[in-house]
Amino acid sequence: MNRYRYKFSGKIFIVASIGLLLAAVCLILNAIRLIKLISSEEVGVYAVISVAVAMIMSVAFLVIITALFVDSRYIFEKNFLVTKFGLIKNTTDYKTIKQIVWFKEVNKLTVFHEDGSFTNIVINDNEYQAFAEELRSHNANIVYYEDITTSEKK
């Protein structure tokens, strides 16, 4: 079973890192706020619940973003191509894949399905050929070609 890691762009990595930092800060500040609320003489149920909800949301965000970085990949299983994007998992039967095209001008690898939909494969550029060969090894009917068309820009 081969695996190909999802390649995050620099912008996504920066935005997600900032989100992780903000979620961690939110969690810490709300933990401090909860301690102060509990130690005060007048503890309001609404205040404790609102702080607890904010802490739960921060933890959830930390888990989701961390899962994106740790477990985003394409996995070749016996009968399916599995796309994992953090906690989200999608399986595609090899039989439903019609063709793979490497658009060299824009350097994108795209998998086209029988129903007309398509999936852009986001992995390291130097792994495109191996990915296509692995996919074709599971279904020999998949057509693979490299589109080297250049458009004239005026």
Strand partners, 76: 81
Domains held by the chain: number: 2
pLDDT of residue 1: 55
What is the dihedral sign for C-alpha 2, 83, 77, 64? positive
Q: What are phi and psi of 24, to 5 degrees?
A: -65, -45
pLDDT value of residue 151: 55
Q: Are residues 84 and 36 in the same domain?
A: no
Residue 33 lies in a domain: yes
**Cβ partners under 8 Å of residue 57, min gap 6:** 26
Q: Are residues 82 and 35 in the same domain?
A: no
- Residue 152 lies inside a defined structural domain of this protein: no
**Counting beta carbons within 10 angstroms of the beta carbon of residue 135, is it exposed (0 to 12), middle (13 to 18) or buried (19 or more)?**
buried
Domain with 57 in it: 3-70
What does the pLDDT profile of the chain (154 residues) look like in tens digits?
589 999 998 999 999 999 999 999 999 999 999 888 888 877 788 888 899 999 999 999 999 999 999 999 999 998 899 999 999 999 999 999 999 999 888 888 999 999 989 999 999 988 999 999 999 999 999 999 888 775 554 4
CATH number at residue 87: 2.30.29
CB 127 within 8 A of CB 4: yes
